[in-house]
Amino acid sequence: MKFLADESIDRQIVARLRQDGHIVSYIVEMEPGISDDVVFNLANMEAALLLTADKDFGEMVFRQRRFHHGVILVRVAGISQKSKADIISSAIKKHLSELTQAFTVITPKSIRIRQQLSSSKI
């Protein structure tokens, strides 16, 4: 699967997903400091799932109703880097087929997946 990891995502999560065989572009390695809007558009242009810890992307999806290939909001603060990477890796492996065009929230104890209901503006 192809991912674009926002700079809010820990490097160890990116490394783990790459180790799992995913293609992961990482904003920190590309162009740190670009706006959320540019990150969102880049994920769409690359047909990649956006991996972020920034809740502002939820507003783009639900309030602005912007089209997306999939957004994964990571909410795993307060645990070790390794545990974070394990949780994200496991959730993606288990739910890979459900993540495209969905807004997913991953926490240490739950995974919520909300499918995009209709096409919206890009």
On the CB side of 114, CA atoms within 13 Å amount to 11
Q: Is residue 120 part of a domain?
A: no
Q: Is residue 122 part of a domain?
A: no
Provide the pLDDT for residue 108: 95
Are the C-beta atoms of 12 and 81 separated by less than 8 Å?
Answer: yes
Distance CA 40, CA 82 (A): 27
Q: Is residue 95 part of a domain?
A: yes
Confidence of residue 40 (pLDDT cuts 50, 70, 90): very high
Q: What is the mean pLDDT of residues 23-51?
A: 95
**Domain limits for position 26:** 2-115
| pLDDT tens column, 53-91 | 999 898 888 888 888 889 999 999 999 999 999 999 999
Are the C-beta atoms of 116 and 103 separated by less than 8 Å?
Answer: yes
Confidence of residue 119 (pLDDT cuts 50, 70, 90): very low
Total-model pTM:
0.90
Distance CA 11, CA 34 (A): 17
Q: Which residues of 84-116 are buried (b: 16+ CB within 10 A; e: fewer)?
A: bbbbbbebbeeeeeebeebbbbbeeeebeeeeb
Q: Is residue 65 part of a domain?
A: yes
Q: Is residue 56 part of a domain?
A: yes
Provide the pLDDT for residue 117: 57
CATH at residue 76: 3.40.50
**Count of structural domains, the chain:** 1
